[in-house]
Amino acid sequence: GPKVLQIPSHQIIDMGQMVTLNCDPVSNHLYFYWYKQILGQQMEFLVNFYNGKVMEKSKLFKDQFSVERPDGSYFTLKIQPTALEDSAVYFCASSFRNSDYTFGSGTRLLVI
Amino acid sequence: AQSVTQPDARVTVSEGASLQLRCKYSYSATPYLFWYVQYPRQGLQLLLKYYSGDPVVQGVNSFEAEFSKSNSSFHLQKASVHWSDSAVYFCALSMNYNQGKLIFGQGTKLSIKP
């Protein structure tokens, strides 16, 4: 079936640096999401995005986080600056309308 | 506040045995409920979902789940497990039929004994 691609699959970055996580959603999907999963824990909602705007964000979505999808290209999550507690697996998801989310395989981010 | 609880962090069953993974939710209105499976180093895959109607929903790979409003539960079941069912299973809730964030439980890691 259709897939959500996440690039890169792994990223190691120095604390304080900027990182951009890329998500290539399913082509006809309209809603985009980022979730954060710390090792061994549940997946937690960060943000959802529709029609060029953030629709809802959680308290985990700190001021250092931003999302965008310029010109229908990748849906990106940018963290600037990064902190040690940002180490986690970040999952992108997309959906068309009916809550049938398609999840990517995740980007494993390690901040050192 | 809305929440999902999976009381069993780990479950081990023998291959061929039946399975039940428990899920309880807290939400005052009609929930939309999901079960997802996560294999190592992969994203979540949808097993089944409940929106309305028949409280017993069928999913992929012979999984089914039963919604109980009185018990605020949505337990996942399978009559006979296979070794390939070893994975982490997440129950999730959405408050919006068309769109909205998913609230996940803590997950249950299922191990299958040969």
Cβ-defined contact of A43 to B43 (cutoff 8 Å): no
Record the tokens describing residue A17, joined without a space. 């640096």
Q: Which residues of B touch A45 (CB under 8 A)?
A: 101-103
- For residue B99, pLDDT beyond 70: no
* pLDDT reported for residue B98: 66
DSSP string, A12-75: EE-TTS-EEEEEE--TT--EEEEEEE-TTS-EEEEEEEETTEEEEE-TTS-TTEEEE-GGGS-E
Percentage of the residues of chain A whose pLDDT score is greater than 90: 79
State the pLDDT confidence band at B100, using cuts at 50, 70 and 90. Answer: confident
A96 lies within 8 A of chain B by CB = no
State the pLDDT confidence band at B1, using cuts at 50, 70 and 90. Answer: confident
Does residue A78 contact residue A67 with C-beta atoms inside 8 Å?
A: yes
How far B62 CA lies from chain A's nearest CA (Å)?
Answer: 19
Phi, psi of B30 (to 5 degrees): -75, 120
* pLDDT reported for residue B95: 86
Cβ-defined contact of A43 to B99 (cutoff 8 Å): no
Q: Say how far apart CA A80 and CA A95 lie, in whole Å.
A: 27
* pLDDT reported for residue A100: 79
State the pLDDT confidence band at B43, using cuts at 50, 70 and 90. Answer: confident
Tell me what the mean pLDDT of segment A30-50 comes to. Answer: 92
Interface probe for A, chosen from B25, B102, B108, B109 (most Cβ of A below 10 Å), is B102
Does residue B2 contact residue B26 with C-beta atoms inside 8 Å?
A: yes
Percentage of the residues of chain B whose pLDDT score is greater than 70: 97
pLDDT digits (tens, 9 = 90+) for B79-98: 999 999 999 999 999 987 76
State the pLDDT confidence band at A98, using cuts at 50, 70 and 90. Answer: low
Cβ-defined contact of B101 to A56 (cutoff 8 Å): yes
Please tell me which of the candidates B45, B99, B107 has its beta carbon nearest to residue A42.
B107
Cβ-defined contact of B43 to A105 (cutoff 8 Å): yes
My answer on whether omega of the bond before A8 falls inside 30° of 0, hence cis, is yes
* pLDDT reported for residue A99: 66
Record the tokens describing residue B113, joined without a space. 């004994």
State the pLDDT confidence band at B16, using cuts at 50, 70 and 90. Answer: very high
pLDDT digits (tens, 9 = 90+) for A42-87: 899 999 999 899 999 999 999 999 999 987 789 999 999 999 999 9
Please tell me which of the candidates A55, A91, A99 has its beta carbon nearest to residue B43.
A91
What is the Cα Rg of chain B in Å?
Answer: 13
* pLDDT reported for residue B85: 96
* pLDDT reported for residue B42: 82
Does residue B95 contact residue B112 with C-beta atoms inside 8 Å?
A: no
